């Protein structure tokens, strides 16, 4: 995907506290920022976001995230290539979900998020 500003992996966890402790205390990943049900770690030149699986309705698993400028435009480009995309508007930004041919969840996220500046 062109114009990717940075990338992340989102890990949906049933045992949120246990997973945060694992990545923070045992693997010693540095915490970038925290919210009530989400902890984001620095992970090489990207990030690992550990999130409670109840927040988005995703049960376990991971999601590849591509942080791009102009999510709606990038989503239209994917749709023009035959990829089904679901654009969502949140109070914290815009996302667009889609799946790869094997069913793995992917997402575009607005790279203008203040956390990335």
Owner of token pair 């995907």: 1
pTM of the predicted structure, to 2 decimals: 0.72
**Residue 15: what pLDDT?**
86
Task: Give, for 56, the enclosing helix (H) or strand (E).
Answer: none
Give dist(CA 92, CA 90) in Å, integer.
5
- For the chain, helix, strand, coil in percent to 5 are 20, 45, 35
- Mean pLDDT across the chain: 85
> For the chain, which domains are there?
1-61 (3.10.180.10), 69-112 (3.10.180.10)
Q: Which residue has the tokens 């679901």?
A: 86
Alpha carbons 33 and 19: distance in angstroms, whole number: 15
Give residue 67's pLDDT: 86
């Amino acid at each position: 995907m062109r114009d990717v500003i940075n990338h992340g992996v989102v890990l949906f966890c049933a045992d949120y506290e246990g997973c945060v402790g694992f990545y923070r205390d045992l693997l010693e990943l540095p915490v970038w920022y925290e919210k009530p049900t989400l902890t984001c770690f620095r992970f090489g030149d990207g990030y690992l976001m550990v999130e409670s699986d109840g927040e988005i309705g995703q049960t376990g698993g991971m999601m590849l995230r591509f942080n791009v400028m102009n999510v709606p435009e990038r989503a239209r480009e994917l749709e023009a290539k035959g990829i089904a995309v679901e654009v969502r508007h949140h109070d914290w930004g815009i996302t667009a979900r889609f799946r790869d041919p094997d069913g793995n969840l992917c997402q575009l996220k607005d790279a203008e998020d203040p956390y990335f500046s």
